[in-house]
Structure 1
Amino acid sequence: MAALETILIWCALLGLCIGYYLVPYLITYSALRDIPAASRIAAFSNLWLAFQARRVRRSAAVHAAHQRLGPVVRIAPNHISIASTAAVHPVYGHGNGLLKSDFYDAFVSFEPGLFSTRDRAEHTRKRRMVSHTFSTKALGGFEQYIQQNLAVFVRQWNLKADNANGQFAKVDALAWCNYFAFDMIGDLAFGQPFGMLEKGKDIAELQLEPRGPISHAPAVYLLDKRGELNAMLGCVPALIPYAKWIPDPFFYKGLSGRLGVNAVGTARVTERLQRGTKSDRIDLLARLMEGKDDLGNSLGRNELISEALTQMVAGSDTTANSLCAVIYWTLKSPGVLQKLQKELDTVIPNHDCAPTFSQVKDVKYLRAVINEGLRMHSTNSIGLAREVPPGPGLEILGHHFPAGTVLSVPTYSIHHSKEVWGDDADCFRPERWECLTEDQKTCFIPFSYGPRACSGRNVAEMEMVLITAIMFSRYDFELYQDQWKLRDGFLNKPVECQIGFKKRYR
């Protein structure tokens, strides 16, 4: 009798599991059954996508599925990836009505920030309060702080070059890109750099409570682990409350990273708030404190912390990864460095004087090299998820997507599409930017697209233009690795980039 009861219990559990996956497949998402799935599991469960995120290779797995199955692929029961020009505007453009999916719930810290806010009205409110932070007028005031950090960068690299006695000084370019980007966002957002450039180390102050003791931790490492965990939990939001109970180093390292990043942001915001708005500093947090919504209300303290964290995360890792990609592909591609240096020499006659943004912002080949680096290595390579709102649904490429369907355009795949970029789409060729087609302009989305595109794009571009111009005009380089390894969390991050550099003489 006991054996029979055990069998019946197991049969019931099996039936529940089958029903849990089969019923949505047959009924709830029946309109999507004609779309090929990345795997048999993907049609029934989001576990396939979560597993790829856990392996830190989601964008590569989705890209491989598109290469096998075509431009429209089912990567979860109600999530369709569309690698086509035809999908960019309908999914991300103005006025389309699509909503952020529950993927973004994994990125909420204290409360939803501009990036993680899903409600359209609340997102509009927040964006209105934050947008003035990155206005053209504000941008002009930021350059002085970028130049100050560039001066520290150059001083440290000159010291390394001098110590190499005429040989190439060997460094990990990724590490130094991280030091610059984190110090830069610390300066712009909180009024002072983290000090990574001065120390030549990944180190930042941590304060778990506003009046608690101060310790130090590797902020870059913490941010990496946080991003990887959030990208995985975003695929299975139901796991978010239970992540701390999962006996897997991936989860507890990610949770530690999340806690550490929150602590860094909280400490910096607390310190900056104590200085108030009467400072001469024109930093992002001061701008955020000045922001008002339509009712004249300012951001609350938790909102300020959330937005400051958003700026810290968005303005550090993304810039570092993109800079590293530009360095790697410039050095790896024959003739590019020499052509870039020749052009820079015409606008920067004296290497000992740092160029201003106005001097180098319109240097065509410099811009082409940066854009091609952003295309080849999309630091956010996954497709940002959007949900079709209640109503008649949406039609793309002959497929009807009813309300509740999640759609995304995979950035890596669209940036490497041979239909868009030609047969040499996997080659680094800056010359392609001399004459772009309309499809290429539409499909270049390193900062996303539409009303939810990166609000800090102008600041990031200013940073990249200035540091790229200074690096390649002042130094000669060697590349010490033929291939680089990547870890694809929320951001597609290089593991390292080993190079050599020495002072350049003309």
Structure 2
Amino acid sequence: MALPIPLPALSALLLTLLCIYKFLIYPLFLSPLSKIPAAHPLAAVSSLWIVYKRYSFCELATIHDAHQRLGEVVRLGPGEVSVNCVRGGIQTVYGGGFEKHDWYPNMFTNYGHTNMFSMITSKPHSIRKRMISATYSKTTLQSSAALAAQSHSILHSRFLPLLTRLASSNEPFNIFPLLSAITMDFVTCYLFGLSSGSNLLQKEEERNHFLHLYHCRRSYNFWPQEMPRMKAWLEWFGVKVVPSWVGDANEEIEKWTMGMVEGAERVRETGVEDVADSPTVYAQLAGSMVKASSSSSPSKVEDPTPETERLQIASELLDHLAAGFDTSGITLVYLIHCLSLRPKLQSALRAELLTLSPPILPSSSSPNLPSPKYIDALPLLNAIVQETLRLHAAIPGPQPRVTPASGCKLGGEGKEFWVPGGVRCSAQAWSLHRNGEVYADPGEWRPERWLVEEEDGELGKKVRFVCEGEMARWWWAFGSGGRMCVGSNLAIYQMKMIVAAIYTCFTTSIVDDEGIEQCDLYTAPPRGNKLMVKLEAV
């Protein structure tokens, strides 16, 4: 007679079988995701392989290679997929308003408070976006007297004199920090006003210190972003995977930003004497927050104390200035790198820029800049900026979302896959922008792909900038849907102003571009953090 199996042994056996089913049989054969091509043999049963790729700074290249081999939808883990298509891809996920993954608040929270970018759910995001989106509309930017005055001061009092000195010295210099400085000055002056914003162009020591603080943290982003629980667990045991000085750098950046917040508040309380000192975005956000706090609307999500409200405003605006200066500075360094390799294209751009009235000249005594509408209408300048944002998107990495509880279908026609709720899904601009069926020779920087030549009556032929059709649909430099970059118009505005200021009267040539390749990161600056150029006056 067979002896009964002891209860502990039976429990262990059942637990083992349950684990085999849950972690092997179900994900490999029964999960709806099992029908999606796996980017790696372990993808169905473990996320460790893609986590390691992220840790090793090769996530973008790995995902791109998987799409090249396997198609529009690939499986990255037991509960994660990547999409690389418009229909059934970014239209469904981002146009459909899927909620954000908790990856965002893990990394993009300031002062202990979430901001619009790091809010997971749509409702608080929509409330915050309604408060400030009007200040970033193209119409507002192009008609803003404050921004016009700020731009004139930054270009004519800070940037052009600096360019003139650099050109006369005939010495090579690293242009990347200067681009970071001027984009920071543009953004913070629009946020806080000229007197309260930064002046990194003229304050070299402050510029170098801030950029050191900002960039030194980059290699330590993995743990708080991808493995926050593991990080906390290791620290509980006394193992520091992120040095304490990273936290010190974050605190110093927050303190620096709070100084500008306080300056803007003083201007707002005492009144604006000079239109350039208008804290446009701060005033709009602070006024909207006060109004929302006093509202009895049922849509109100919280009733913050004055100090909490102050920190929420600071968190929001720190996110805006960080994203606004970093991404535009990265884009500009690649734009200048590509133009520096093409002297004839520089000449063509200069001829176009000289049609502006008034042109942006170092010696100009004009109190005005050319109309932003005229700058925005220049076809070659448009094409150069558009193509740089395509090939060298400053944020080329995945934008994680979570599929809704009801599930969804992902993939193009004939290649659809059912994906259940709660699955992490994402697309990345790096791959969308390298679709050879949409962009001929996708690895080549070719601004002419955005230009068409057409007849213009008796005037003969003219060139027109065109952003439409499949190329426009696959272009994803600022994301799409309700969560796309709120500051995209300001980014384009400042980049065009800066390019016009440089190439109207100067030429650039490369002295040293070692390390110009983009980092394989969510935000992707040059690996070497430099581009050594020579500037010559025309």
Shorter chain as normaliser: what TM range?
0.7 to 0.9
- State the one-letter code of the partner of 1:103: W
2:355 corresponds to which residue? 346
Structure showing greater Rg: 2
Alignment pair present for 1:62 and 2:94 = no
- State the one-letter code of the partner of 1:474: C
Given that 2:336 and 2:508 are in contact with CA atoms closer than 8 Å, whether structure 1 keeps it comes out as no
1:156 corresponds to which residue? 162
Residue 489 to residue 395, structure 1, CA distance change in 2 (3 Å): closer
1:207 corresponds to which residue? none
Alignment pair present for 1:190 and 2:192 = yes
Q: Quick one: which of 424, 427, 435 aligns to 1:417? A: 435
- State the one-letter code of the partner of 1:322: T
1:101 corresponds to which residue? 101
2:251 corresponds to which residue? 259
Alignment pair present for 1:485 and 2:513 = no
TM-score of the two chains, using structure 1 as the length reference: 0.84
Given that 1:21 and 1:44 are in contact with CA atoms closer than 8 Å, whether structure 2 keeps it comes out as no
Alignment pair present for 1:399 and 2:417 = yes
Give the deviation of 1:269 after TM superposition. Answer: 2.1
- State the one-letter code of the partner of 1:33: S
Give the Cα separation in 2 of the matches to 1:125 and 1:29.
41
Residue 345 to residue 154, structure 1, CA distance change in 2 (3 Å): same
Alignment map for 1:322-341 (pairs within 5 Å)? 322-333=331-342, 335-341=344-350
Give the Cα separation in 1 of the matches to 2:185 and 2:388.
22
Indicate the RMSD between aligned Cα atoms, in angstroms.
3.2
Give the deviation of 1:157 after TM superposition. Answer: 1.7
After superposition, give the CA deviation of every residue in 1:416-445 in whole Å (9 maximum; x if it has no partner): 1112212x1111111111245522111111
Given that 2:183 and 2:329 are in contact with CA atoms closer than 8 Å, whether structure 1 keeps it comes out as yes
Alignment map for 1:101-500 (pairs within 5 Å)? 101-106=101-106, 107-109=108-110, 110-135=112-137, 136-137=139-140, 140=144, 141-151=146-156, 152-162=158-168, 164=169, 167=170, 169-191=171-193, 192-201=196-205, 203=207, 218-226=209-217, 229-230=220-221, 233-239=224-230, 241-242=232-233, 247=239, 252=244, 254-280=246-272, 281-283=277-279, 284-291=281-288, 292-293=291-292, 295=296, 300-333=309-342, 335-347=344-356, 351=361, 352-353=363-364, 355-397=370-412, 398-422=416-440, 424-434=441-451, 435-481=466-512, 484-494=516-526, 495-500=528-533
User: How many percent of aligned residue pairs carry the same amino acid?
Assistant: 24
Residue 410 to residue 307, structure 1, CA distance change in 2 (3 Å): same
- State the one-letter code of the partner of 2:285: L
Structure 1 residue matching 2:335: 3-state secondary structure: helix
2:457 corresponds to which residue? none
Structure 2 residue matching 1:40: 3-state secondary structure: coil
Give the Cα separation in 2 of the matches to 1:482 and 1:273.
42
After superposition, give the CA deviation of every residue in 1:246-304 in whole Å (9 maximum; x if it has no partner): 85666556444433333322333234334444432322212211224475789811211
| Bigger mean CA deviation after superposition, 292-301 or 191-200 | 292-301
- State the one-letter code of the partner of 2:278: I
Given that 1:222 and 1:256 are in contact with CA atoms closer than 8 Å, whether structure 2 keeps it comes out as no
Give the deviation of 1:25 after TM superposition. Answer: 5.9
Give the deviation of 1:23 after TM superposition. Answer: 5.9
Give the deviation of 1:375 after TM superposition. Answer: 0.5
Structure 2 residue matching 1:81: 3-state secondary structure: strand
Structure 1 residue matching 2:507: 3-state secondary structure: strand
- State the one-letter code of the partner of 1:63: H
Gaps of 5+ in 1: 1-7, 204-216
TM-score of the two chains, using structure 2 as the length reference: 0.80
Residue 251 to residue 388, structure 1, CA distance change in 2 (3 Å): farther
- State the one-letter code of the partner of 2:186: M
| Bigger mean CA deviation after superposition, 222-231 or 424-433 | 222-231
Given that 1:79 and 1:405 are in contact with CA atoms closer than 8 Å, whether structure 2 keeps it comes out as yes
Given that 1:229 and 1:489 are in contact with CA atoms closer than 8 Å, whether structure 2 keeps it comes out as no
Give the deviation of 1:18 after TM superposition. Answer: 7.2
Structure 2 residue matching 1:43: 3-state secondary structure: coil
Residue 428 to residue 396, structure 1, CA distance change in 2 (3 Å): same
Give the deviation of 1:121 after TM superposition. Answer: 1.0
| Bigger mean CA deviation after superposition, 343-352 or 451-460 | 343-352
